[in-house]
Structure 1
Amino acid sequence: HSEIYEGVGVNTSFCAGVSRFPQTHSVDADTLLRQADYALYRAKQQGQQQIEYFDENEERWQRDRHEQRERLRKGLQQGEFTLHYQPKVNLATGQLAGLEALVRWQHPELGLRHPGQFLPIIESHPLNLTLGEWVLEAALTQLEQWQEKGFDTHVSVNIDSKQLQAVDFPQRLGELLLRHPRLQASQLDLEILETVALDQVDAAIANIAACRKLGVTFSLDDFGTGYSSLAYLKKLPVDTLKIDQSFVQEIVAENRPQAMLSAIIGLSRAFGMQVLAEGIETEDQGLHLLQLGCMHGQGYAIARPMPAEHIEEWCKNWQPPARWSSTGV
């Protein structure tokens, strides 16, 4: 509420943090004050006129989360992270169209960890940007090593909203590309989620446009799961639509996904974009996609993500199923 102090109107508000006594374990006065102070911090985060009670379980969760983040930071410093690569191919010819770089954590005690097992720990945390920059650097370094051996290809890297919306992202990306002068910028494709692109859409569009001026390309990942309108899609300067695997997995059994896929493929052509299907797990799914006019895809029916050292051998040996090659598309 408002008060008048020496003729000046002053707005006042009230927040309180409360710790309880007794607790399930022994605590001293200093601990109680620290807990109340933490609860007060949480109350202020909620807004004005708030009271927050200290929660032992939440403190334990926060402490565990902090320890997990510090362990991840240590893992980055000690070289425990690596990239696996999943091929993207022309479904009819089998020709390699590029590779998607997927981060893995080779944890010394827990074994190989997938993104879903550690990325939530650092969501909305500065470590997420640190890891994102490491992935970009590692992918370009590997691309350069392949090129030195005469194996030329393209690599796509997933970036999140905080990376994309950072004011200095185009500048940092440009500096990264300069550190790899033997590569063409067009060999790098940045994959963004549909929801990421539409979060602060004007900032996203500006940064995408600035990055494309450097020569990199963009793909809109998991397309069909978000809420982009035709107007936004027309404004987004992306090069490829990646059809979400949920449509692909139902394509054989149901008519509606086929209609949706036909619409997305037609949409991509109308906007001059490439289209690629994710999550192809069976030969029949690949065949249906080809019949609908989708020429490119990735998924377990083609290859699982694999270490970089296995890619060249896979490329020498893989052939598309005969039914895909004989479609005449």
Structure 2
Amino acid sequence: MQEWVAAGQHWVISVNIAARHFHRPDFVDALRALFQKYPDAPVQQLELEILESAALQDVQQMRQMMRECQALGVSFALDDFGTGFSSLSYLKRLPAETIKIDRMFVDGILTDPEDSTLVSAIVGLARAFDRAVIAEGVENSAQAEKLLSLGCELGQGYGIAKPMPADTVLEWAARYLAVKT
């Protein structure tokens, strides 16, 4: 993150965090220590992703931990949204800034009207709760176009880029932007 910021890129960096890490009493202190060690990495650019199903295990504890991290400037994404049993009630209780639409819904949006309807509904929920929404598993431009038509403007998946080492991201981004302009 520090290197990318030094290169003029102020991307939000999302990191998957297992729920068990939130149960560690020193989690927030460890996070704070990391940002003290790397002072040129803006804490506001870190987004922690938690699985919806993991967040549902202990909502009160998860909510408290999220609030403590948010007080540092960290944001949260609720990953695999829609796969849990209590998505609507917990959406209200968990203070995540972003909802990530699970790839199983994105996979079928071109062929299954129900998947398309579910994605549209999740986008509507995100807007109603003033949350950002990202589609996971965007594998091709047809899916990306359909997601855009449903109001989902952010996505991730092999259709955008495959996973790559951190030291190759700047070069890839420069090529990607050159092609898009």
TM over 0.5: yes
SS of aligned partner of 1:294: coil
From 21, 38, 43, give the equivalent of 1:163.
Answer: 21
Residue number in structure 1 paired with 2:104: 246
Q: Within 2, Cα distance between the matches of 1:281 and 1:307? A: 20
User: How big is the alpha-carbon RMSD for the aligned residues of Structure 1 and Structure 2?
Assistant: 1.8
Residue number in structure 2 paired with 1:289: 147
Q: Does 1:199 align with 2:66?
A: no
Q: For residues 163-242 of structure 1, what are the structure 2 equivalents within 5 Å? A: 163-242=21-100
Q: Please identify runs of 4+ aligned residues in structure 1 that moved more than 3 A.
A: 319-322
Change (3 A) 1:188 1:144: same
Change (3 A) 1:272 1:253: same
Q: Within 1, Cα distance between the matches of 2:169 and 2:43? A: 21
Q: Higher strand share goes to which structure?
A: 1
Aligned 8 A contact 1:188 1:216 in 2: yes
Q: For residues 95-106 of structure 1, what are the structure 2 equivalents within 5 Å? A: none
- Give the C-alpha shift of residue 307 in structure 1: 1.1
Q: Does 1:310 align with 2:175?
A: no
- Give the C-alpha shift of residue 184 in structure 1: 1.7
From 301, 310, 313, give the equivalent of 2:159.
Answer: 301
Counterpart code for 1:186: Q
Q: Does 1:272 align with 2:134?
A: no
Q: Within 1, Cα distance between the matches of 2:43 and 2:146? A: 34
Q: Within 2, Cα distance between the matches of 1:149 and 1:281? A: 29
Residue number in structure 2 paired with 1:9: none
- Give the C-alpha shift of residue 314 in structure 1: 1.3
- Give the C-alpha shift of residue 241 in structure 1: 0.4
Aligned 8 A contact 1:194 1:227 in 2: no
Question: Which residues of structure 2 form unaligned runs of 5+?
Answer: none
Aligned 8 A contact 2:77 2:100 in 1: yes
Please list the CA deviations of residues 57-113 of structure 1 after superposition, one character each: whole Å capped at 9, or x if unmatched: xxxxxxxxxxxxxxxxxxxxxxxxxxxxxxxxxxxxxxxxxxxxxxxxxxxxxxxxx
Change (3 A) 1:269 1:212: same
Aligned 8 A contact 1:277 1:297 in 2: yes
Please list the CA deviations of residues 109-128 of structure 1 after superposition, one character each: whole Å capped at 9, or x if unmatched: xxxxxxxxxxxxxxxxxxxx
Aligned 8 A contact 1:194 1:228 in 2: no
- The normalised TM-score by structure 2 is 0.94
Q: Alignment identity in percent?
A: 44
- Give the C-alpha shift of residue 261 in structure 1: 0.6
Q: Within 1, Cα distance between the matches of 2:171 and 2:179? A: 18
Question: Which residues of structure 1 form unaligned runs of 5+?
Answer: 1-142
Q: Within 2, Cα distance between the matches of 1:166 and 1:227? A: 26
Counterpart code for 1:216: V
- Give the C-alpha shift of residue 320 in structure 1: 10
Please list the CA deviations of residues 237-259 of structure 1 after superposition, one character each: whole Å capped at 9, or x if unmatched: 10100101111110000100011
Q: Within 1, Cα distance between the matches of 2:49 and 2:143? A: 23
Residue number in structure 1 paired with 2:12: 154
- The normalised TM-score by structure 1 is 0.53
SS of aligned partner of 2:157: coil
Aligned 8 A contact 2:81 2:100 in 1: yes
